[in-house]
Amino acid sequence: MNFQRARGILLIVGTGFAVATLTAAAQTTAPAKSPSFEVASIRQNMNPNPGWRLRFSPDGIDATDVTLQYAIREAYAVYDDRLWSGGPAWLNERRFDIEAKFDVSEFPNPTIEQRRAMLQKLLADRFKLVVHHETKDLPIYELVVAKKGPKLTESKPEEIHLSGLTGKPVCSIAQTSRAGGIELRGCSTKNLADTLTHFPVIGRTVLDKTGLTGLYTIELYWRREIPSASASASPDLSLPSIFTALKEQLGLELKPTKGPLDTIVIDHVEMPTAN
């Protein structure tokens, strides 16, 4: 957050004269310092067996075997590949170990937005990353409530997981033991929309337009046209398509339309500078 120098102005108006007195010196305060990493280590990971991990820790960030593309997505909280463009091929090929720390005595509880801003700055400093935003009108789906109303179950308190960093609810998502299914616990309909965005069968960004504000426990089963590695060799024909499943099982539906989306263009990036 940027703070500008405060200036107080006292205006005294009398007969035939006006006096303006600036009291800037008395009211000037030093600008607040934005959280930033004090130390950082970035090394290319040459392990032939990829096994990535990225997490925000209480005093920084810890990433192992991640592509730069993944780190950039996390820095900007934009996970839909359709909303990114530009950059060299190695963005999604070369992998890195990233460890960075900030002073917790100076910044005891940065928000997730501040943590992402710190990561953005780190990538700009070490990878010379430059991006810009472009708004584009693209095909999307709106997740809306179906005519017969929602069929959602609010999560019980014990089903809601709280973040160790922020203390706020964190959506828990897992594949079910039954092929073609997912379970969400302590999740909003926005979390559901974001999850649906990543399914190839959807093929578009999904925006939450339900107007629902609760946290829900959701089980959704549908027929996977292309089996995943954990699914059976052939799709379960007894299950509906994902579009029908949403309506029948959750009382929600996907409405096709077009809308403006914020996309990010990578203008410049380099291999990282030395530690």
- Over residues 110-161, the pLDDT tens digits come to 999 999 999 999 999 999 999 999 999 999 999 999 999 999 999 999 999 8
Domain boundary residue, one of 127, 147, 174: 127
Nearest in space to 192 (alpha carbons), one of 165, 177, 210, 168: 210
Q: Take residue 36 and report the two structure tokens written for it.
A: 């930033």
Q: Does the residue 83 lie in any domain?
A: yes
DSSP 180-227: TEEEEEEE-HHHHHHHHHT-TTT-SEEEE-S---S-EEEEEE---SS-
Pairs from 39-43 (Cβ < 8 Å, separation ≥ 24): 39/100, 39/101, 40/98, 40/99, 40/100, 40/101, 40/122, 40/126, 40/275, 41/97, 41/98, 41/99, 41/100, 41/275, 42/96, 42/97, 42/98, 42/126, 42/272, 42/275, 43/96, 43/97, 43/275
Helix, strand counts (H, E) of the chain: 5, 16
Q: What is the pLDDT of residue 263?
A: 96
Domain boundary residue, one of 66, 100, 127: 127
Please give the Cα distance from 109 to 2 (Å, whole number): 18
Residues 186-216: tens digit of each pLDDT: 999 999 999 999 898 899 999 999 999 999 9
Q: How confident is the model at residue 29 (pLDDT cuts 50, 70, 90)?
A: low
Mean pLDDT, rounded, for 31-47:
88
Mean pLDDT, rounded, for 227-238:
57
Run of H or E residues at 230: none
Domain boundary residue, one of 58, 93, 127: 127
Pair (118, 147) in one structural domain: no
DSSP-assigned letter for residue 251: S
What percentage of residues in the chain have a pLDDT greater than 70? Answer: 83
Mean pLDDT, rounded, for 167-172:
89
Q: What is the pLDDT of residue 156?
A: 94
Mean pLDDT computed over every residue of the chain: 85
Answer whether residue 60 shows pLDDT above 80. Answer: yes
What's the structural domain count of the chain?
A: 2
Please say whether the beta carbons of 189 and 210 come within 8 A: yes
- Give the bridge partners for 42, in sequence order: 98
Pair (82, 187) in one structural domain: no
Q: Does the residue 12 lie in any domain?
A: no
Beta-carbon count within 10 A of 272 CB: 21
Pair (123, 199) in one structural domain: no
3-state SS, residue 97 = strand
Pair (144, 112) in one structural domain: no
Pair (143, 254) in one structural domain: yes
DSSP-assigned letter for residue 32: P
Please say whether the beta carbons of 136 and 260 come within 8 A: yes
Nearest in space to 185 (alpha carbons), one of 212, 211, 220: 220
What percentage of residues in the chain have a pLDDT greater than 90? Answer: 67
Answer whether residue 12 shows pLDDT above 50. Answer: no
Range of the domain at 61: 39-127
Run of H or E residues at 34: none
Nearest in space to 92 (alpha carbons), one of 63, 65, 68: 68
Pair (116, 150) in one structural domain: no
For Cα atoms 92, 74, 141, give the angle at the middle one, nearest 5 degrees.
90
Q: What is the pLDDT of residue 6?
A: 38
Q: Take residue 240 and report the two structure tokens written for it.
A: 């509906």
Residues 72-113: tens digit of each pLDDT: 999 999 989 899 999 999 999 999 999 999 999 999 989 999
Of 172-181, 184-193, 226-235, 263-272, minimum mean pLDDT range: 226-235
Q: What is the pLDDT of residue 14?
A: 38
Pair (113, 154) in one structural domain: no
Of 168-172, 177-181, 205-209, minimum mean pLDDT range: 177-181
